[in-house]
Homo-oligomer: A and B are copies of this chain.
Amino acid sequence: MISVEAALEIILNEIKPLGMERINILSSLGRVLGEDISASTDNPPWDNSAMDGYALRAIDTKTASKDKPITLKVIEDLPAGYTAKKTIKKGEAIRIMTGAPMPKGADAVLMVEDTEKSEVGSKKPAPERIYRGSEVKIFREAKLGDNIRKAGEDFRKGDIVLTKGISIRPAEIGMLAAVGKPVIYVHQRPKVAVLSTGDELVEIDETPTDGKIRNSNSYAIAAQVKTCGAIPVQLGIARDNKKDLREKLEFGLTADCIVSSGGVSVGDFDFVKDVLKEMGSEMKFWKVAMKPGKPLAFGVIGGKPAFGLPGNPISSMVAFEQFTMPAILKMMGKREVFKRVFNALLTKPIKKKPGRVHFVRAALEQKNGQFYAAPLEGQGSGILSSMVKANCLIILPEDAKDIEKDSKVKVQMLDQGFLYQDKPGY
């Protein structure tokens, strides 16, 4: 029996990130960037107004107040997207919109709320709606540089704005758009073949009889593959005979990774191993010191990593989460491939013998900012109903014994559901 960490190390040593492909940035959400992205211009490209208001010379507003306003001559109306035609001289101002380049001669912007509402320009489409002369009352002193966004304050020409290896979120897509990169290199998504084995299985649209059950594992595992951002390919059910198993496994060789469930416990052990050996795999079969999920097979067939997960539904899901998910994420080029571990307080005692890491299905809650983990009823490796109720796994270390209520335990979130709540949190 080897430890979870030892198994994980052996697995990840065999995994390499997949190569690159060029895709549209809007399709790149969740993918890993395959190139450094540098800026070809400053951003903003020029000093510009942070407000709707008046571009002016700060010195001209000295002593201005609500009671003693100063009046300036408005010489132009400058919408965003245009540059001022005129240069501001003493006693002059230009009506300016947020984002418009600062006019020559101006060194500050006063927001419109600190002025007396002047014309907002004619209703004709720009650029015709250039201002045709008016005045503005200034109720406040402007300081040098007020409400000016400096050229390059976000980033400078030549700066690496996104580095190879980061995961792409909406902010990164915004940045790629801002620097004019509609198409980028990202790591490819692995295609993952999913196979269930066993004469006891029938397809999910069939009615099981006579000792048979439905092939639910393939669906749960294919869904797990999707949550990683990879592409599942469902190979269906391989029957417990060499010919069928070999045929189905060969179908899987078009994928980047093969995941089977069932057939790896003591009983059918030799049988699956034989077929894999015939196919040229250096297969490592282990008992891993964990519960659920003890029997695990891992090997490399034709250069493709192959996972033989246990057949019990929860065992296979937990083993996928601990071993296959990090491998898939690494193939996708991700750097952070392990589920983060958070601290929580245990709401009731758990019985445990030392010797294996236990993954306990639990309901995570937050009260006054503190996490509480409530172990669920029904921890058997076939009990799907508790997996449905769970939003986290409590991780009890290999050497831990019985754990008391209120103990600090480690938890992994099963999904991103805990990032949302049913009331605003302000």
Contact = CB atoms under 8 A, between A and B. Distances in A.
Interface residues of A, number: 135
Contacts of A408: 369
A50 interface: yes
Nearest to A265: B52
A384 B226 contact: no
Contacts of A29: 223, 226-227
B99 A341 contact: no
A265 B98 contact: yes
A330 to B, nearest CB: 11
Nearest to A150: B380
A13 interface: no
Copies in the complex: 2
Given A198-B81, A417-B169, A313 B208 contact: no
Given A29-B223, A340-B418, A154 B214 contact: no
Contact of A98 (B179, B311, B424): B311
B267 A217 contact: no
Contact of A220 (B83, B171, B334): B171
A241 interface: yes
Which 4 residue pairs spanning A and B have beta carbons closest together?
A81-B200, A341-B425, A174-B220, A343-B369
Contacts of A419: 339-340, 413, 416, 419
Nearest to A386: B154
Given A390-B171, A417-B336, A419-B416, A5 B79 contact: no
A407 interface: no
Interface stretch (A68-76, A120-128, A250-258, A297-305): A120-128
A258 B104 CA distance: 38
B424 A82 contact: no
A5 B423 CA distance: 10
Contacts of A182: 204-205
B153 A213 contact: no
B336 A217 contact: no
A416 B170 CA distance: 12
A153 B383 contact: yes
Given A419-B413, A420-B336, A213 B44 contact: yes
Nearest to A389: B171
A120 B170 contact: no
B170 A223 contact: yes
Contacts of A423: 338
Given A149-B380, A171-B387, A182-B205, A267 B79 contact: yes
A415 B301 CA distance: 35
Contacts of A413: 419
A221 B169 CA distance: 11
A177 B378 contact: no
Nearest to A412: B425
